Amino acid sequence: MWQKTVMAVALAAACAGCMSAEDRRAADEAKCRSYGFTKKNDAFAECLQRIDLDRRAELRSASASDPWDRPILYRPIIIRPQPK
C-alpha cells in the first residue's frame, strides 16, 4: 500500500519538475478558481498557500520514506575508570 503512495508522490514530483513555475502557478490559480474563489482577495491567497503547503508536505513525506535518509543520532558513552 505505501509503495503505491510513494510511487504516486514520486510521479507527481517528477511531473512537477516538468512544469515551469509559471505553469504551476497558473494551474494552482485555475484550481482555486474552480473552487469558487476570485482573484485578489484573502480567500484566494489562502487557497494558493494551502496548495503550496500540501505540495511541500508531499515532498517531505516522500523523502521521509527513504530508510537511509535519517538523521544520525549521537549519544556519547562516558566510561569512567574503575577505582582501585
Which single residue is written with the C-alpha cell 556519547? 76
The C-alpha atoms of residue 57 and residue 9 are separated, in whole angstroms, by 10
Instruction: Enumerate residues 6+ apart whose C-beta is below 8 A from 2.
Output: 65
Instruction: Enumerate residues 6+ apart whose C-beta is below 8 A from 35.
Output: 47
At 50, is the pLDDT very low, low, confident or very high (cuts 50, 70, 90)? very high
Would you state the pLDDT for residue 84?
A: 77
Q: Over 80: is that where the pLDDT of 21 sits?
A: yes
Q: What is the pTM of this model?
A: 0.55
What residue spans define the domains of the chain? Answer: 2-63
